Chains A and B, each alone.
Chain A
Amino acid sequence: MFVLSVLKDKIPIHPSRFGVPPEQALINEINKKYANRVLHDVGLCVCVFDIAEAGEGKIRYGDGFLWYTVIFRMTVFRPFPSEVILAKVKSSDQDGIQLSVGFFDDMHVPLIYLPQPSAFDPNERAHFWLPGSEAASAHELLDSPVSERMYIDQGEIMRVRVEMDEFYDDEPGPPKATEGVQVQREARRPPYTITCSIAEQGLGPITWWKSAQAEAMDEG
């Protein structure tokens, strides 16, 4: 779920921070620049793990900053494909389920990765799974007795498998205008999205499998 990435950067230290030990000052500045930000094709930065190498601070023409070339290790959130992680259900809609791990929200389960057969119940605003049902269409599924449905409610903890992650680097670009009126730009894509799956035995809300285990015990 978390990895270490080795990065190299030039970090300026403001003269007011010269009193702080250089290592601490550098870590503070790096955290300020990177923490809680997505690096393209790297992942979501959490915090500095340690500094591997730092050169002598140099003063450039024009400002009083000390510029350090630093090689450091960053703790990065980047679950690898096929990794299994725990996540909370943030919301559900016709297109799938939105997940969250607290510090990162751009995770979702699309319809194709839901356990089959399943359908979206607009009244409950939640997807449900009908294990062992023959019904194929959404209409048939919605006709099923409510007691047999296994709902994926909001706020439930799910075990999910990471299928794919994608990075988008949308340039902001100049504002568009037609006939002098500014056009509302379409919503920007999140810079880092993770696609997850629960279409497998053992995946989905953890309560499903806890209770399944208990039932199996009872039968045995």
Chain B
Amino acid sequence: MEVINSRASLLSNYEVLTLLRDLESDYIAKSKTSVRIKKEEDAAGPSAPKAYDPLEDISENLRTMEVEAIQYLSAEYQPMRAQMPAGITMLVKSLAPYGLNKSEKLQIVNLAPTEPVELYVIVEELEDRLGEKLEDVLTSVRTSLAKEPAAAQQPVSVVAEMEVYQEQVYDEDGQWEQDANDVEFVDAGEGAGIEGDLDVDDE
């Protein structure tokens, strides 16, 4: 392995969140396929050749990272819930005349300060550099945030969906997850019931 450039460019939190959400939806799609493939295999019987399972290609580490980072980046104290790509572009453009440097702009986008004290920690020597223009910066930050966090609705449903599919997937594997065993146990219960019915028929 060779590091060509350890800091090629900076990424805003919103970009990372979008990237991780894409991975997440990709994972959901794959787990759906995986469940379907397994069902088909079960139908074909144990002698059928094993098809390629797309879930095998996703490492545990990546999943941990995805879930934990999405959790952090979409927490309620983060402004990313109310951010939109168009709003961020507009914000960066409107910040151009104030002579802020790159890292300060990045932090304004990441933290979306709406109060002077929040901006104070981001920009060095705030009074000297911005002075009266401080309010303008805060106003442009406020306008860049969506009033109604419409984006916040979507992730919630994605998370809910993910939970459903995770259950299904672990249900199929049933190797390491404790609660997966519970689900299997319930299945066995249903099966036992059917067997019982058959017994009754025999008699």
By a beta-carbon cutoff of 8 Å, the part of chain A in contact with chain B is: 1-9, 16-17, 19-20, 25, 28, 31-32, 35-37, 39, 41-43, 46-47, 49, 71, 73, 75-76, 78, 80, 82-86, 101-103, 157, 159, 161, 200-203, 206, 209-210, 212-213
Contacts and interface: CB of A to CB of B under 8 A. Distances in A.
A3 B10 contact: yes
Given A4-B11, A7-B2, 19 more contacts: A1-B13, A1-B110, A4-B7, A5-B7, A6-B3, A36-B62, A47-B65, A75-B19, A83-B103, A83-B107, A84-B111, A86-B78, A86-B111, A102-B69, A157-B77, A159-B111, A200-B121, A202-B118, A213-B115
A60 B130 CA distance: 61
The 8 A-B pairs with the shortest beta carbon distances in the complex, nearest first, are A102-B72, A36-B61, A103-B68, A202-B121, A35-B62, A2-B11, A28-B57, A32-B59
B89 interface: no
A190 B57 CA distance: 28
B5 interface: yes
Interface of B: 1-13, 15-16, 19-20, 23, 52, 57-59, 61-62, 64-66, 68-69, 71-72, 77-78, 103, 107, 110-111, 115, 117-118, 120-122
Could you tell me the dominant secondary structure of chain B's interface residues?
Answer: helix
Nearest to B11: A2
16 contacts: A1-B13, A6-B8, A7-B2, A16-B52, A25-B57, A35-B61, A35-B62, A43-B6, A75-B11, A84-B111, A84-B121, A103-B68, A103-B72, A200-B121, A202-B120, A206-B77
Could you tell me the dominant secondary structure of chain A's interface residues?
Answer: mixed
B52 A19 contact: yes
A47 B70 CA distance: 13
Contact of B62 (A31, A39, A42, A71): A31
Contacts of B68: 102-103
Given A2-B13, A28-B57, A42 B115 contact: no
Contacts of A101: 72
A201 B5 contact: no
Contacts of B69: 46, 102-103
Contacts of A16: 52
A45 B2 CA distance: 14
A80 B103 contact: yes
B110 A42 contact: no
B9 A3 contact: yes
A159 B69 CA distance: 18
Contacts of A212: 117
